[in-house]
Amino acid sequence: MSKRILFSSLVGAAALAGVAAGGIALASASTQPTLENGSARYVAPSDTRAGSLTYTVDVSDDSGVRDLKVLAWPASSKLDPTEVELRSAESATCRKTSDETTRCTYTLKVTKREAAALTQGTWYASALATAEDGDTTFVPRAATFDVTH
């Protein structure tokens, strides 16, 4: 075999190996967590029981779900929280429903006294999902709900 053919074959093999390695790297690249089927609900307190604000969402990631932070805020406040601010928010309670999906529920109990101080009208729930591999997804307005007295 001539040196020219051998060299060309080695260059071709190296190029194929590089393409294959790139394909493997793309195939194993991590994905961002996704939030689906989210809903929020406010229930006003009564004389016999506390009220609550509940936000529930299905969070999925190929590496699993580590945490979901939630912040509820009135639209009239013009708060518009950032991802950095949500890192210090309260965590939802999460339970696995499959290898990649977790159902997370954030519940905040509300007394009659607290409810009287809440701003009536439209509120938003912001969410920050963190995967086991460290990837994050921030949704500034993950759900909308109304607060009434």
Distance CA 61, CA 129 (A): 10
Walk along the chain (149 residues) and give the pLDDT tens digit of each residue.
444 443 344 334 444 444 444 444 445 567 999 999 999 999 999 999 999 999 999 999 999 999 999 999 999 999 999 999 999 999 999 999 999 999 999 999 999 999 999 999 999 999 999 999 999 999 999 999 999 98
75 touches 124 (CB < 8 A): yes
Instruction: Report the pLDDT value the prediction gives residue 28, as an integer from 0 to 100.
Output: 57
Q: What is the DSSP letter of 98?
A: S
Which whole-number Å values give the CA distances from 147 to 4, 39, 119, in the listed order? 78, 14, 7
